[in-house]
Structure 1
Amino acid sequence: MAVVEKERQKLVARIKRIRGQVDTIERSLTTGDDCADVLMLLANVRGGINSLMAEVLEDHIRHHLLSNERSSAPPHELAEDMIDLVRAYLK
């Protein structure tokens, strides 16, 4: 990843929050919390993961697919690469 150190620290902090949320889900399941509460926790984790995925995917597109050495590629080739990337990671 081509992120600067400040951005890397933000991403690590985000994944640590997600880890804490997953730990909360585990506790909720072991203590028999209400299904609706567990579902809300799961939705929160999914949102966090999706947001993190979008951030890393955006970084990849900006720094790898649209880099100077790739900028000479035909636009349709870059578009196909982006489509393939999105399909691979957002299934």
Structure 2
Amino acid sequence: MSHTVRDSKKLLSRVRRLGGQVSALEGALSAGAECAAVLVQVAAIRGAAASLMRELLTEHLQEHVVEQPDRKRREQEMAAITELLRSYLK
């Protein structure tokens, strides 16, 4: 069973919280909130997304690389992760 399936309840909870933060940001912008408050909300969203990415990546590495007995498959997974990180860290 994949880690995203096994941990789906926890992951969905985090995604819903992230969605709530985005909704709060939309509300702040619609209400004409001070720019500092908007920036704080954007920073909170960025932190929550980064935390979710870190958790998913950690579990992915553990399940699909560390515990992968097939060397060729491990190398394929590492190539995919490397490409993901290149895209993510732009």
Both structures adopt the same fold (TM-score exceeding 0.5): yes
Does the 8 Å CA contact 1:2/1:59 hold for their aligned counterparts? no
Distance 1:35 1:50, change over 3 A: same
CA distance in 2, matches of 1:26, 1:58: 31
CA distance in 2, matches of 1:85, 1:41: 26
Distance 1:50 1:13, change over 3 A: same
Per chain length, whose mean CA-contact separation is higher, i.e. which structure has more relative contact order (CA < 8 Å, sep 6+)? 1
Q: Report the CA distance between 1:89 and its aligned residue.
A: 3.2
Q: Report the CA distance between 1:68 and its aligned residue.
A: 3.0
Stretch moving more, 17-26 or 57-66: 57-66
- For the aligned residues, what is the CA RMSD? 2.5
Query: Gapped runs of 5+ residues in structure 1?
Result: none
Tell me the matched-pair count.
87
CA distance in 2, matches of 1:86, 1:46: 16
Letter of the aligned partner of 2:87 in structure 1? Answer: A
Structure with higher helix content: 2
Equivalent in the alignment of 1:11 = 11
